[in-house]
């Protein structure tokens, strides 16, 4: 089945959305005619989710927001159409549950936004100094550990801030993440506002479900762990608390220095206690504001937020409980062993579809739409750039596997060692200095060749610069790209970090291990994963193994032999980045991340 474009285009839009699209297209036309200056148009374009590329000209990246990762068959079909007719035949899933399309021409971007709007999607505030896509755990509503289903809460938060006057010209971008339990699959611990569902015991012995809100976290070149605002926030107070965080950031964020403008820097300038006090004060008087968002949001009251399971301690076969190594030999059995998550407490069955490097082709978008319809499944984008099919039965698994295999998305080991996460890198990004996607592919291939691709409990993330769009700080093995100099030549290189960890409402950022040439980084990963696989105790986490092995510095010291550049004439490949044909040249364009 494919979408009916005529019917899609004829759908009535909300008046605010229709006005927004008309204004977007008229402003683009005015800009192309020379009537809007470059700086003004850049801010306007970014607030509409349209991001410049290093290729320049009218090549644009369109970032589509998928709140808490939830996507429908029709939306898959619209994304397929955009992929085929406006981009380069494929789209890219991000670590914040967006879908990105590159090489969209500015002249046709308005048509892309209209198609998205007709399918209930938007790119509004996906870029710029705005409230970005609201992220949520991809197993929310299907996880046996969750305290509350955070899906309707993430939805309500999206609706509260989308097109809100407060969300338009903040000091910098503002990121909100939701997790349904302390496992923190929604990655709450390194964002401006991170919300984790928790329970407390009241004085009368009763238990109450609510939230613990963490504030002022962030990655980037200088990562900051989020810190708790208060011990417990009630369900009734959640929305005004989040808005109070946003308003406090708007009031006190640094508007003079974009490099120190994120909320995390307020901790450095005023201290965490003062920041907490100002947020609580803002919340207290927010009740006087028009549109005070207190109480239970309508969508939560309508859909409910009851947890899928008991909300207790992990049992078996839940997120994070991965095998040391998969043992099955049959492809289907291996896929079930690695890609299927069962909720023991409530009998839920979910399964991962693998998206190599987070990429989905036009044909795969269409195939996913058909599969989702046929299995009546809820589908969510994961923060490791895969897809989670939920609401399955045991009887669905064979059929789902066969259908995913037909479109090349049934690789076993989604979310395991072979599942390398990478930012777009120097392929399209103005700030990247290395081809992070090329390294990710090389690492996946090297792990496959070494028989290590299906080792559980180790994750690899790569960023093409220090800004951590690939989340290298919080992965077991992380890399960020930078320029190296050897024998009088420039060459692509990486800093390797080890031991990043997220969970139990805590975050540990990876420690520097060693520097390596880009072309030696895959071998460095193979050696570390091999040691981990050989030496770990059953079920042992990577960070625990690393600590008892002497830490990142000790393990990194044993890789120093890889940090060698041969003479250019002996091996010129070391001076050419992945996917390139000529000598490496560091090229950094104007940053729109700090615009």
* Full DSSP string of 350-409: EEEEP-GGGEEEHHHHHHHHHHHHHHT-EEEE-TTS-EEEEEE-GGGHHHHHHHHHHTT-
Contact residues for 131 (Cβ-Cβ < 8 A; gap 6+): 125, 161, 162, 164, 167, 170, 174, 176, 246
| DSSP states of 66-122 | -GGGEE-HHHHHHHHHHHHHHSSSEEEE-TTSEEEEEEEEGGGHHHHHHHHHHTT-B
Where, residue-wise, is CATH 3.30.70 in the chain? 5-118
Who has greater pLDDT, 316 or 388?
A: 388
Residue 500 pLDDT: 96
Torsion angles phi and psi, residue 259, rounded to 5: -75, -15
Residue 539 pLDDT level (bands cut at 50, 70, 90) = confident
Residue 594 has pLDDT above 50, yes or no: no
Residue 70 has pLDDT above 70, yes or no: yes
195-204, 301-310, 373-382, 566-575: segment of lowest average pLDDT: 301-310
Residue 321 pLDDT level (bands cut at 50, 70, 90) = very low
Handedness of CA 55, 66, 468, 273 (dihedral sign): positive
CB 228 within 8 A of CB 275: no
pLDDT tens-place string over residues 147-201: 999 999 999 999 999 999 988 899 999 999 999 999 999 999 999 999 999 999 9
CATH architecture of 421-575: 2-Layer Sandwich (3.30)
Residue 231 has pLDDT above 60, yes or no: yes
- Round the average pLDDT of the chain to a whole number and report it: 93
Q: What is the pTM of this model?
A: 0.94
Residue 590 has pLDDT above 80, yes or no: no
Who has greater pLDDT, 311 or 255?
A: 255
Where, residue-wise, is CATH 3.30.413.10 in the chain? 147-303, 421-575
Instruction: Give the position of tokens 């500015």.
Output: 106
CATH number listed for the domain at residues 147-303: 3.30.413.10
pLDDT tens-place string over residues 378-437: 999 999 999 999 999 999 999 999 999 999 999 987 767 888 999 999 888 888 999 999
Residue 589 pLDDT: 65
Residue 315 pLDDT: 40
To the nearest whole percent, how much of the chain has pLDDT over 90? Answer: 83
Residue 96 has pLDDT above 60, yes or no: yes
Longest CA–CA separation in the chain, Å: 77
Residue 318 pLDDT: 40
The β-bridge relationship of strands 421-422 and 460-463 is: parallel
Residues present in the chain in total:
595
- Cβ neighbour number for residue 43 with a 10 Å cutoff: 15
Query: Cβ-count burial of 240 within 10 angstroms (0-12 exposed, 13-18 middle, 19+ buried)?
Result: buried
Residue 593 pLDDT level (bands cut at 50, 70, 90) = low
pLDDT tens-place string over residues 17-68: 999 999 999 999 999 999 999 999 999 999 999 999 988 789 999 999 999 9
What does the pLDDT average to over 73-99?
97
Residue 316 pLDDT level (bands cut at 50, 70, 90) = very low
Of the CATH numbers 1.10.1040, 3.40.1710, 1.10.1740, 3.30.70, which one belongs to the domain with range 5-118? 3.30.70
SS3 at position 410: coil
| Residues facing residue 99 across a β-bridge | 64, 93
SS3 at position 507: strand
Residue 327 pLDDT: 58
Residue 322 has pLDDT above 90, yes or no: no
CB 571 within 8 A of CB 516: no
Residue 317 has pLDDT above 70, yes or no: no
Contact residues for 261 (Cβ-Cβ < 8 A; gap 6+): 171, 172, 253, 254, 255, 594
Distance CA 434, CA 521 (A): 12
Query: Cβ-count burial of 45 within 10 angstroms (0-12 exposed, 13-18 middle, 19+ buried)?
Result: buried
SS3 at position 345: coil
What does the pLDDT average to over 99-118?
97
In this structure, what token pair is assigned to residue 175? 């990121």
Instruction: Give the position of tokens 């297209």.
Output: 25
To the nearest whole percent, how much of the chain has pLDDT over 70? Answer: 95
Residue 311 has pLDDT above 60, yes or no: no
What does the pLDDT average to over 258-272?
96
């Amino acid at each position: 089945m494919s979408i009916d474009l005529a019917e899609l285009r004829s759908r009535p839009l909300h008046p605010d959305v229709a006005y927004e699209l008309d204004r977007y297209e008229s402003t683009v036309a005015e800009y192309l005619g020379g009537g809007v200056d470059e700086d003004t148009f850049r801010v306007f374009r970014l607030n509409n989710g349209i991001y410049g590329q290093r290729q320049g000209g009218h090549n644009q990246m369109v970032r589509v927001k998928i709140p808490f990762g939830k996507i429908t068959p029709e939306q898959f079909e619209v994304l397929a159409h955009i992929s085929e007719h406006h981009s380069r035949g494929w789209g890219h899933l991000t670590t914040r549950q967006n879908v990105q399309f590159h090489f969209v021409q500015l002249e046709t971007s308005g048509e892309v936004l209209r198609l998205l709007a007709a399918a209930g999607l938007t790119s509004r505030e996906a870029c710029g100094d705005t409230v970005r896509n609201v992220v949520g755990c991809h197993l929310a509503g299907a996880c046996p550990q969750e305290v509350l289903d955070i899906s309707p809460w993430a939805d309500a938060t999206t609706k509260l801030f989308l097109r809100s006057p407060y969300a338009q010209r903040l000091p910098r971008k503002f990121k909100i993440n939701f997790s349904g339990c302390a496992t923190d699959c929604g990655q709450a611990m390194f964002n401006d506002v991170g919300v984790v569902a928790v329970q407390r015991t009241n004085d009368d012995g009763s238990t109450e479900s609510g939230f613990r809100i963490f504030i002022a976290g962030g990655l980037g070149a200088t990562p900051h762990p989020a810190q708790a605002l208060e011990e417990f926030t009630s369900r009734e107070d959640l929305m005004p608390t989040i808005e109070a965080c946003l308003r406090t950031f708007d009031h006190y964020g640094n508007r003079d220095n974009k490099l120190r403008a994120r909320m995390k820097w307020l901790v450095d300038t005023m201290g965490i206690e003062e920041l907490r006090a100002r947020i609580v004060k803002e919340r207290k008087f927010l009740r006087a504001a028009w549109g005070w968002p207190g109480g239970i949001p309508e969508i939560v009251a309508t859909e409910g937020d009851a947890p899928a399971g008991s909300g207790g301690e992990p049992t078996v076969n839940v997120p994070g409980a991965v095998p040391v190594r998969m043992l099955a030999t049959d492809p289907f059995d291996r896929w079930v062993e690695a890609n299927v998550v069962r909720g023991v407490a409530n009998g839920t069955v979910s399964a991962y579809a693998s998206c190599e490097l987070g990429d989905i082709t036009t044909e795969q978008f269409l195939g996913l739409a058909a599969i989702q319809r046929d299995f009546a499944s809820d589908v969510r984008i994961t923060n490791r750039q895969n897809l989670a099919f939920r609401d399955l039965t045991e009887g669905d698994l064979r059929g789902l596997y066969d259908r995913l295999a037909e479109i090349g998305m049934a690789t076993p080991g989604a979310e395991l060692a072979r599942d390398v996460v990478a930012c777009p890198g120097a392929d399209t990004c103005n700030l990247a200095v290395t081809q992070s996607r090329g390294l990710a592919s090389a690492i996946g291939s090297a792990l496959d060749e070494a028989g290590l691709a299906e080792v559980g409990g180790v994750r690899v993330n790569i960023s093409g610069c220090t800004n951590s769009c690939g989340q290298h700080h919080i992965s077991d093995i992380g890399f960020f790209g930078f320029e190296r100099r050897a024998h009088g030549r420039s060459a692509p290189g990486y800093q390797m970090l080890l031991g990043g960890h997220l969970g139990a409402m805590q975050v540990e950022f990876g420690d520097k291990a060693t520097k390596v040439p880009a072309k030696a980084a895959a071998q460095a990963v193979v050696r570390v994963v091999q040691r981990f696989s050989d030496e770990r105790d059953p079920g042992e986490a990577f960070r625990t193994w690393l600590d008892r092995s002497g830490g990142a510095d000790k393990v990194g010291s044993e890789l120093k032999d890889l940090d060698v550049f041969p003479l250019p004439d002996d091996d010129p490949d070391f001076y050419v980045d992945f996917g390139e044909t000529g000598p490496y040249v560091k090229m950094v364009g104007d940053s729109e991340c700090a615009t």
